[in-house]
Amino acid sequence: MSETIEPKKVMIIEDNEVNQKISDMIIKKLGHNTIQVFDGKGAIKTIRQEKPHLIILDIQLPENCSGIDICKEIKGDPELKHIPVIVVTALHGDEDKKQITAESGCDEYIAKPFLPNVFIDAISQFIEVNSVDWDE
């Protein structure tokens, strides 16, 4: 039996249905609640309302909305900047990683497609997680 942890709110900002579903499933398995957001337009407003403990943020979002701009806005806001942001993106060259990290101010960066363990390791840097037995 894994010990019970206090559930936290994790916001997933991701337009791809499959990636949303995978992220949502993993985060719930880790013992946390999710807030699923599929585009970038109202994201900052939702963050202000919900005050998540962690944000998973895609970079390429609909309507030319960039996760980089959302992250910059979070990190430039005194009330939001403490919220850790994990950028998850298909842009995965070393230069992309350097540039996105420097420009956005994100706390962690992972490339898509990711292995569940990579995702879990990234999350567990910021919030406590339940240990997951994937063979269950």
Give the binding site for Mn ion (CB under 5 A). 15, 58, 60
CB of 18 to Mn ion, least distance (A): 11
CB of 62 to Mn ion, least distance (A): 8
Q: Which is nearer to Mn ion, 46 or 130 (CB)?
A: 46
**Within a 13 Å sphere around the CA of 117, how many CA atoms are in the beta-carbon half?**
2
**Structure tokens that stand for 91 in this block:** 């842009």
Q: What is the 8-class DSSP label of residue 31?
A: T
CB of 112 to Mn ion, least distance (A): 9
**Within a 13 Å sphere around the CA of 45, how many CA atoms are in the beta-carbon half?**
4
Q: How far is CA 57 from CA 69, 74, 104, 117, in A?
A: 11, 11, 11, 18
CB of 30 to Mn ion, least distance (A): 22
Q: Which is nearer to Mn ion, 36 or 130 (CB)?
A: 36
Q: Which is nearer to Mn ion, 15 or 77 (CB)?
A: 15
Q: Which is nearer to Mn ion, 16 or 101 (CB)?
A: 16
Nearest residue to Mn ion on Cβ basis: 60
Characterise 118 by phi-psi region: left (phi > 0), alpha (psi -120 to 50), beta (else): alpha
Q: Which is nearer to Mn ion, 16 or 130 (CB)?
A: 16
Host H or E run for residue 66: strand 65-66
CB of 60 to Mn ion, least distance (A): 4
